Structure 1
Amino acid sequence: MTSLPDLQPVIRVTAMPADANPYGDIFGGWLMGHMDLAAGSVASHHAGGRAVTIAVEGMKFHRPVIVGDEVSVYATLVATGTTSMTIDVEAWRRGRHTDEAYRVTQARFVFVAIGDDRQPRKVAALGG
């Protein structure tokens, strides 16, 4: 068991039966989708507009998520390029009736800011 990060989660959701396999474990794709949504929220906020996922790097599943778990997704902007943003994302689970929390997945998402013409556009530097 580990303490949840000191950051506020970008997304918090309860894992439901429709999101699970016959054994009650949540599908990895469901979890990855929520991680992408959280990273996209951070990217579009920093970019001040539309941003699209171009890569997911180093996806690791550490523990299962089961039906009824509260899943908190944390996302932090860690680097910027001319048009790109790199965001570290972690998902944590907490049982419904306990304070025990565990990191269940982590990955690095890369987004590119795009304009109305669907072409890449510049983003502000990290911290700028």
Structure 2
Amino acid sequence: MCNQEDAQAPEGRLTLQLPASPRDTNVFGDIYGGFIAAQVVTAAETRAAQIARGRVATVSIGSLEFFAPVLVGALLSFYTRVVETGTSSIRLCVEVWGQQTDGSSLSKITECETVQVAIDAQGRIRELPAIQG
């Protein structure tokens, strides 16, 4: 399960990494939570598409509780871990970690579970391919 606020290091596969830029700030100058939520979905869909070997759609995204503010310039890293797979769905834990621009401080920003479903070219649910290996 995805509930490890006190984790000392990221778990899962590094799936997305990007700097927090000034265009993604709220009125107080911190990185907007909605921006981080959108990147969580991008990371989850990227990983799920690799597993599904094709198109996926997000079915749900769990709640986001932010453990630390994100400042402009922080390097955001999104780690994904498969929690469970079904016939057509993939449940992932996405952890977001931030590192300050000087590289001195790595901290967990948030985490949540997401569910993606494999879909075909017409948008219909399809089965996942057999997991190899």
What TM-score comes out, normalization by structure 2 length?
0.87
Residue 52 of structure 1 corresponds to: 57
Partner SS for 2:35 = helix
> Matched residues in 2 for 1:29 and 1:22: separation?
13
* Root mean square deviation, CA, Å: 2.0
Structure 1 residues 21 and 50: alpha-carbon distance in aligned structure 2, compared to 1, 3 A threshold: same
What's the offset of the Cα at 1:98? 3.0
What's the offset of the Cα at 1:125? 6.1
Match of 1:84 among 77, 82, 89: 89
C-alpha contact (below 8 Å) 2:53/2:129 kept by paired residues? no
Deviations 1:83-107 (A, max 9, x none): 1100100101110013311100100
C-alpha contact (below 8 Å) 1:62/1:104 kept by paired residues? yes
2:113 is equivalent to residue 108 of structure 1: yes
Match of 1:68 among 48, 73, 76: 73
C-alpha contact (below 8 Å) 2:117/2:125 kept by paired residues? yes
C-alpha contact (below 8 Å) 1:3/1:101 kept by paired residues? no
2:23 is equivalent to residue 14 of structure 1: no
C-alpha contact (below 8 Å) 2:12/2:81 kept by paired residues? no
Structure 1 residues 8 and 123: alpha-carbon distance in aligned structure 2, compared to 1, 3 A threshold: closer
> Matched residues in 1 for 2:42 and 2:114: separation?
10
C-alpha contact (below 8 Å) 2:11/2:80 kept by paired residues? no
What's the offset of the Cα at 1:7? 4.8
Partner SS for 1:59 = coil
Gaps of at least 5 residues in structure 2 are 1-5
Structure 1 residues 52 and 6: alpha-carbon distance in aligned structure 2, compared to 1, 3 A threshold: closer
Deviations 1:15-50 (A, max 9, x none): 111100132210111001111111101100000100
Residue 97 of structure 1 corresponds to: 102
